[in-house]
Amino acid sequence: MVGKPEQKQTEILQQLPVSEVWGIGRQWSQRLQKIGILTVWDLQNADPKPMRPRFSLLMERMIRELRDESCIAMEEVAPPRQEIQSSRSFGHPVKTMEELGEAISLYIVRATSKLRRQDSVAAALRVYIRTYPFQNHLPQYQAARTVVLSHPSQDTRIFLHAGKLALTQMYRVGFAYAKAGVHLLEISSAQSVQTDLFGDAEAENRAQNLMATLDQINARFGKSIMQPGIAGWQEPRGWAMKRGNKSPAYTTQWKELARVKVE
């Protein structure tokens, strides 16, 4: 006797490993297995909302699609960024390497967080610094360095080390720096990257879990609530861009809604 179509479908999904889902690569497959999601049926029955901060928006949509929820049209899917940049002009002239290093480190933290949100890795980091281009009475200097990684990564700590190396090579005493920035280059999908044959697989898994935990905490309690100490901890930062003339966020912040006095 042939069973009902729904029952037959369930039996098939219970036998298919989760790696058979399109878009689930080796890294995601390993992370899913660690939380007990072994089959396509397990993924289909997972709660999609907590999976979004733990993995990405793409994972939430995968689960909903497995449940036959048409949650997104094809044209709504934004392609992953091929280059991620983070930069700011300073609120006051920066002269010390310590302040420059803190700013660059914070920009790296922000850029790598965006990198992980789209489940990508980058193979190179470009760092640049410059003085005030329109103040001709001041000494002028600008420089940029690109550090190529031995293996594509999304680990913030690896990029922080690369950023420190680049800054050490560029920094010159006696200049008033106005701006710094970082670019993540040679970006590709984390699912398409081959395992480093000479790397430590266990250490790589620990690094992925650490970054995932960091992103979950920041997603739950607020951006930058937890970050590497090298990126600074004092608020407001002395070098941060001045925001006195910043327009109110009428559409995203309750406290900045326009108020009308009625007489």
66 lies in the same domain as 98: no
- Whole-angstrom distance, CA of residue 105 vs CA of residue 161: 9
Per-residue model confidence (pLDDT) at position 78: 54
Torsional sign, CA 214, 215, 221, 227: positive
Of 220, 245, 226, 259, the residue nearest 89 (C-alpha): 245
- Whole-angstrom distance, CA of residue 147 vs CA of residue 161: 10
Instruction: Tell me if 153 sits within 8 A of 135, measured CB to CB.
Output: no
Is a pLDDT exceeding 50 seen at residue 26?
A: yes
Per-residue model confidence (pLDDT) at position 63: 85
Instruction: Tell me if 207 sits within 8 A of 31, measured CB to CB.
Output: no
Residues 178-210 have pLDDT tens digits of: 999 999 999 998 877 665 555 666 777 787 788
129 lies in the same domain as 210: yes
217 lies in the same domain as 131: yes
**CATH, residue 158:** 3.30.1490.100
Between 167 and 239, whose confidence is greater? 167
Domain count, the chain: 2
Instruction: Tell me if 167 sits within 8 A of 146, measured CB to CB.
Output: no
44 lies in the same domain as 104: no
Range of the domain at 185: 84-231
Q: What angle, 0 to 180 degrees and rounded to 10, lies between the N-to-C axes of helices 201-221 and 26-34?
A: 70
Per-residue model confidence (pLDDT) at position 34: 87
Q: Mean per-residue pLDDT for 113-124?
A: 91
* Residue 254's pLDDT band (cuts 50, 70, 90): low
In this structure, what token pair is assigned to residue 25? 């690569």
